Amino acid sequence: MSKRDLSKYSNAWYNPGRNAFVRGLWYTINVLVFQSALWPYYGLKRALLRCFGATIGKDVIIKPCVNIKYPWKLRIGDHSWIGEGVWIDNLADVTIGAHCCISQGAMLLCGNHDYTKESFDLRPGAIVLEEGAWVGAKAIVCPDVTVGAGSVLTAGSIATKNLAPNGVYQGNPAIEKKKY
């Protein structure tokens, strides 16, 4: 027998930060422009994110097919790159420092559920990528994780805990393989 009764699930307490109209408008723009392969124009994407409350540095590159949940919970520093197929599921704040790279298919997941509770409560948590961090292709950064300055989370790895600066991390869960 399951310990979860999903009929008891409620995230009514969660406030995404904008009203339903703004969220709906963002959803439409996200699908038509950001998740599409037809809009490779970085300047347009930066401008739209700023219109919806994101803080976007100069010369930020946002490739096609990117999914961003809530731009008003997003900060990206100068000269950072967001690769194709990246999912920024920012139920909480996401801060991406300057000169960061998030490679294709990577996920920044700010939400999880409490599997120990019958009601399967939502547990959002912020993510921080410090300056010069690199999240490899198909890697995952979990809620409440900071990827230290200059650190590398290798392709396909999963960061479940903070990663110290200037390390190379690999595996599930990611462990430090070397310092540089």
Domain residue spans in the chain? 19-174
Q: pTM of the predicted model, to two decimals?
A: 0.95
Question: Which amino acid, residue 51?
Answer: C
Q: What pairing do the DSSP bridges indicate for beta strands 140-141 and 167-171? A: unpaired
In this structure, is the dihedral angle defined by the CA atoms of residues 23, 159, 57 and 33, taken in order, positive or negative? Answer: negative
Element (H, E) at 115: none
* H/E stretch holding 76: strand 74-76
pLDDT at residue number 180: 86
Could you give the CA distance from residue 90 to residue 80 in angstroms, rounded to a whole number?
Answer: 17
Q: Which residues of the chain have pLDDT under 70?
A: 1-2
Q: Does domain 19-174 have CATH number 3.40.50.300?
A: no
Q: What is the pLDDT of residue 124?
A: 97
Three-class SS of residue 109?
strand
